[in-house]
Amino acid sequence: MSYLDNIRTFVRVYELGSMSAAGRDLRISPAVISARISQLEDHLGVRLFQRTTRSLTPTEQGQSFYRGATEILEAVESAEAQIVNITENLRGSRYIAAPLGVGRRLIAPQVPDFLKDYPEVSVRLRLTDRKVDLTTEGLDLAFFLGQPEDSNLRIRKIADVERVLCAAPDYIARRGMPKSGDDLLAGRHECLNLRFPGATEFQWRLQTATGPKRFRVAGRYESDDGDVLTDWALAGHGVALKPVFDIADHLRSGALVPVACDTPPEPIQMACLFTHRRRQDPKTRLFMEFMIERIAATIRRQDPSAPPVG
């Protein structure tokens, strides 16, 4: 096994925190992972990890070697990117994460076209509305809505996505048409809330005559799955705050209608996150550019007045 492969194995063990996790990520057995780490330690003459039956902790030498190892891999991947003919020789797996609505409506439908053009590439799509960690979860690229918290990652903005407050016609017939964010407060309406990990309250940022304002909303319905909120809204259970692309078909059919139009929601940023090292990989870069172009086309079809994307 090559020295470079051993370095790649060490980096994944370091980032994922265990040999079993690295084995799953690299599609090799923990025994092979352990052998590669041992070979690397023998070559360097130091211990890179302190091992117990329950934990794996990098030593001081391991922490120092990780910094140099990532630089080595970045240099190799950058050199490969400069010479590889990516339209003919692209191969390998990419691990992609996205929120449920973004993944189902904007990304998943485009994956077959990407794989048709690049038959030796595999796409592993992970859909979740929770926050993801690119490093610990072995992800190459993560699409998201909103503002990221990790400033160490690289961000590629895709678009400012229009959003809408919406409800079913039968809900409006029962509870009345809310005109503004103020009408949604004090229990006058049932607000359907998306639960994020660690969130202590629900706030909808709406545009008012005096500028953007945060409205603290409440309701008996909450979920960590945006599609569940859409289903509840369609069933007439309350008012949902949704990206337009996510419910465009329901708006066109009249199954959902805009409400509180005097104080519409602020647009939300759609972007993708990646580490500097992943950005150098031709597979990651090509998949990102492919998806940005397709997302732009989809958003323009749904809203011809939308500004250019990308």
Least confident of 57-66, 165-174, 267-276: 267-276
Indicate whether this model's pTM tops 0.85.
Answer: no
The answer to whether the CB of 163 falls within 8 A of the CB of 205 is no
Greatest mean pLDDT range, 67-81, 154-168, 230-244, 258-272:
230-244
Radius of gyration of the chain (CA): 23
pLDDT at 304: 44
**What is the pLDDT at residue 279?**
52
pLDDT at position 197: 56
Which phi and psi angles does 92 have, rounded to 5°?
110, 180
Q: Is the pLDDT score of 30 beyond 70?
A: yes
pLDDT for 80 beyond 70? no
Looking at residue 307, what is its pLDDT? 45
What Å distances lie between residue 133 and 69, 126, 167, 168, 236, CA to CA?
20, 12, 33, 36, 35
For residue 160, pLDDT over 60 is answered with yes
The domain spans of the chain are 3-83, 86-161+269-302, 163-266
Q: What is the pLDDT of residue 306?
A: 45
Q: Are 102 and 244 in contact (CB under 8 A)?
A: no
**Predicted local confidence at residue 178, as pLDDT:** 92
- Residues 224, 230, 233, 237: is their CA dihedral positive or negative? negative
Answer CATH for 3-83 from 1.10.10.10, 3.40.50.2000, 3.100.10.10, 3.20.20.70? 1.10.10.10
- The answer on pLDDT for 281 being more than 80 is no
Length of the chain: 310
CA-to-CA distance for 168 and 171, rounded, in angstroms? 5
Instruction: Write down the pLDDT at residue 303.
Output: 59
pLDDT at residue 88, as a whole number:
53
- List, in order, residues 6 or more apart from 291 with CB less than 8 Å away: 106, 107, 110, 114, 143, 272
Range of 7-21, 68-82, 137-151 with top mean pLDDT: 7-21
Whether 3-83 shares its CATH topology with 163-266 is answered: no
Instruction: Please say whether the beta carbons of 99 and 106 come within 8 A.
Output: no
In CATH terms, the superfamily for domain 86-161+269-302 is Periplasmic binding protein-like II (3.40.190.10)
**Is CATH 3.30.830.10 correct for 163-266?**
no
Q: Which of 195, 196, 242 is nearest to 219 (CA)?
A: 195
Q: Please, are residues 136 and 13 in contact by the beta-carbon 8 Å criterion? A: no
